[in-house]
Amino acid sequence: MKTTLHSISALVFSCAIFSLWQCSQPAPQETAKKGMTPQEMVDRGRYLVNFGSCNDCHSPKNFSPQGEPIPDETRLLSGHPANSPLVPFDASLAAPGKYYLGSADLTAWIGPWGISYTANLTPDTATGLGGWSEETFRNALRKGKHMGSDAARPILPPMPWMYINQASDEDLNSILAYLKTLKPISNRVPDPVSPAELASMAKGTK
């Protein structure tokens, strides 16, 4: 009897979740609505960037007295600071099956892929996304390739492009629309370090 009650409870819970999911889906007439206005796109993009916690990795940080990393409001989404070298670290810990290492402000990451530095997402033309079109931005996140080119280097971990690429074109365009409203910050992020270079560092030859 107890097992049966549990089964019924599980079924009721599953039905409730399915009903909520159905209610969250747009009605047929809503899918045919006109496109968003430019301001609506910016507002949508701001929501998605904040909801997706993009500042966690793409913004330099200040630190609270307790050591909590807080996004630097003057450098939001400007990526790993070009003038911020990594402190010495044991590169051997980045071997597969060991550890992923993050810089203090989480703008640089070390792992089996080498070293990745978070990108400058501000609309600076020379060092950020100022020259990116909607198509370039979408292609980069759909393909996991820098600048969206098949011949370009891959976008490295921990950037979760393989999940972001499931967003609609409208949402990706909205994210770019919001990013282009930010203050342009000139910050040329360092190039990634390859696994071979990282291995050399671990052996003390670099």
* The model's pTM: 0.80
Beta-strand runs (E) in the chain: 61-63, 69-71, 101-102, 108-111, 114-117
Per-residue buried b or exposed e for 29-39, using 16+ beta carbons within 10 Å of the residue's own CB: eeeeeeebeee
Q: Which of 6-15, 34-43, 151-160, 178-187 has the lowest mean pLDDT?
A: 6-15
pLDDT at 55: 97
Tell me the domain boundaries of the chain: 36-202
Q: Residue 32 — pLDDT band, cuts 50, 70, 90? A: very low
Q: In terms of Cα–Cα distance, which of 17, 73, 80, 43 is closest to 175?
A: 43
How many other β-carbons are positioned within 10 Å of the β-carbon of residue 5? 9
The distance from CA 141 to its chain's CA centroid, rounded to whole angstroms, is 10
Q: In terms of Cα–Cα distance, which of 41, 34, 35 is closest to 179?
A: 41
Q: Is the bond preceding residue 38 a cis peptide, omega within 30 degrees?
A: no
Model confidence pLDDT, tens digit, residues 35-86: 899 999 999 999 999 999 999 999 999 999 999 999 999 999 999 999 999 9
- From residue 82, alpha-carbon distances to 25, 54, 78, 182, 190 in Å are 44, 19, 10, 19, 6
